[in-house]
Structure 1
């Protein structure tokens, strides 16, 4: 039974769950999940775990992301993107008065460690229900600010239109950052409103959309081997056959923590099989997750 992580280039207009459903059909299994939701409007890289490799998704969700996006200044919407209704449209003269320098200053202010309030129309759960479900039901939703890091927020192109300004940007950010919220906050800072009109995720950790398969054509697609995925995500730690057996039986590997640089590492046995993910416990290493032995 095929097990691995499939890199999918999600097309516009479908949900992340739609891609999961397509993968289930293509691979003939119910055991499929994804690491990190993309809005229907967005395109780009979606990491899909299949069968035993779904256990790796926990270690993929928190990886940093890169996005290409287009922000439209001059209009604010109910959803902070182009799928919502326009709730504010700035006067043309006000938009025209926004200088390049003010835009760049606004971008700089949203770069680095910031406190960001997610879009109300998001997948965050509020008392057990998704925020977007509550909004669509007519409820008022106020989400708490959360700490995120935007390590790069770069303007790559700008177009001044009649009553609006369009910015093409590249964003490198921590997991949990909402690019829609960056568009909203930039527009609010400039006093003209803003929303997202285009979003494409090009990178998750070291995984690149250039290596992904078309989300409309998954039949015959070949997933990445679990060991390759795990090593890319958390680094490699080679173990002996006896150590592999110990980890599978829940035993610790004493005195080996100093050989792992990060919080986790992929434990690989002498045959090249991924045993699981180990974590530090004092000077020892213990299994945080074991892979199925037939995965």
Structure 2
């Protein structure tokens, strides 16, 4: 879209391929400038070290973000075994390195790594990285770590749907310590920390571990292949926005309303839809395909969860 053109009335969803060293806040700031609006938010952050898919909401479409945050994610990553760090990634100070003999033993028996990966697949209990944004008594965990505190976060249930790893290969640190690098693809539930997977795999092997690379390729049905490059966004061209109705149709069942029903729903009224099955979230659209709102359907009656601007000015 032309950055100087007027935004669609319902805004849109913008897919961005975040570059390394940019924070998620940096990306939002660039999008605000490119689109000429302050109303831009994101559906889940990426660390500065990470690259890949960041999903932004623009204008009224930011109302969809709360329903995008919980989608499953896919990551491409490289895990380094044999060295642990404070942040569980390559940006943190080193905590420890494994001895060369232990590294050689694991490298000679790749099945040990495979068993460790299997133990971290499926429904698991995971302690988030100590430098996560989770709050502990009102303060971010990473702030407490930077202040010198020892932080150990409570384990929480997550699901690793797929943890596919390539062949382990011998590597070494910049100062010559022996390590093992493993490239992996991970499909996981929202809230899974890939850094923690590297940490826990290393701990299981008595090696220590951390991430050296991380790229998010998918958020639910959305792929980084359709995302705008950071260079283009930074130059003031955000590219096309996804229509909120199209996004909602991908995520939820659709209920097409009559023109009068669309008006009534836009004003928050409950509708009787006896033929519609019960559903926690449904994309309600008007005869022209515009998104009127996200609704719950229960026993043939609707309840508005989130409304969107309509031609008559409702919502």
Counting matched residue pairs gives 294
- Give the CA deviation at 1:145: 1.0
**How far, CA to CA, are the matches of 2:198 and 2:207 in structure 1?**
11
- Give 5+ residue unaligned stretches, structure 2: 1-5, 173-177
Q: For residues 152 and 23 of structure 1, do their structure 2 counterparts lie closer, same or farther at Cα, with a shift above 3 Å needed?
A: same
Q: Secondary structure at the match of 1:259?
A: coil
Which residue of structure 2 aligns with residue 286 of structure 1?
A: 303
Rounded Cα–Cα distance in structure 2 between residues aligned with 1:22 and 1:82 = 26
What SS does the aligned partner of 1:40 have? Answer: coil
The one-character-per-residue Cα deviations of 1:65-117 (angstroms, maximum 9, x if unpaired) are 00000000000100000000110100011011112101000000000001110
Which whole-Å deviations, capped at 9, do the CAs of 1:2-27 have from their partners, x for residues lacking one?
Answer: 21010000000010010000001101
Whether 1:205 and 2:220 are equivalent positions in the alignment is yes
Are 1:27 and 2:35 an aligned pair? yes
Q: 2 CA distance for matches of 1:81 and 1:170?
A: 17
**Selected match of 2:186 from 159, 171, 178:** 171
Secondary structure class of the residue paired with 1:81: coil
Q: 1:246 aligns with which of 264, 276, 280?
A: 264
Q: What is the deviation of 1:139?
A: 2.5
Partner residue in 1 for 2:48: 40
Displacement, 1:132?
1.1
Residue 157 to residue 268, structure 1, CA distance change in 2 (3 Å): farther
Query: Are the aligned partners of 2:110 and 2:168 in contact in 1 as well (CA < 8 Å)?
Result: no
**Residues in 2 aligned to 1:186 and 1:155: alpha-carbon distance in whole angstroms:** 12
* CA distance in structure 2 between the aligned counterparts of 1:257 and 1:136, rounded to whole angstroms: 57
Counterpart residue number, 2:291: 274
CA shift for structure 1 position 287 = 1.1
| Higher radius of gyration, 1 or 2 | 2
In the alignment, the residues of structure 1 paired with residue 139 and residue 187 of structure 2 have an alpha-carbon distance, to the nearest angstrom, of 29
TM (norm. structure 1) is 0.95
Q: What is residue 237 of structure 1 aligned with on the other side? A: 255
In structure 2, how many angstroms separate the alpha carbons of the residues matched to 1:26 and 1:152?
37
SS at match of 1:13: coil
Give the secondary structure class of the aligned counterpart of 1:252: coil
- Report what 2:131 is aligned to: 121
2:59 corresponds to? 51
1:144-223 mapped onto 2 (5 Å cutoff) = 144-162=154-172, 163-218=178-233, 219-220=236-237, 221-223=239-241
Aligned position for 2:175: none
Aligned equivalents of 1:174, 1:49: Cα separation in 2: 21
1:131 Cα deviation from its structure 2 partner = 1.4
- In the TM superposition, residue 230 of structure 1 has moved relative to its aligned partner by 1.5
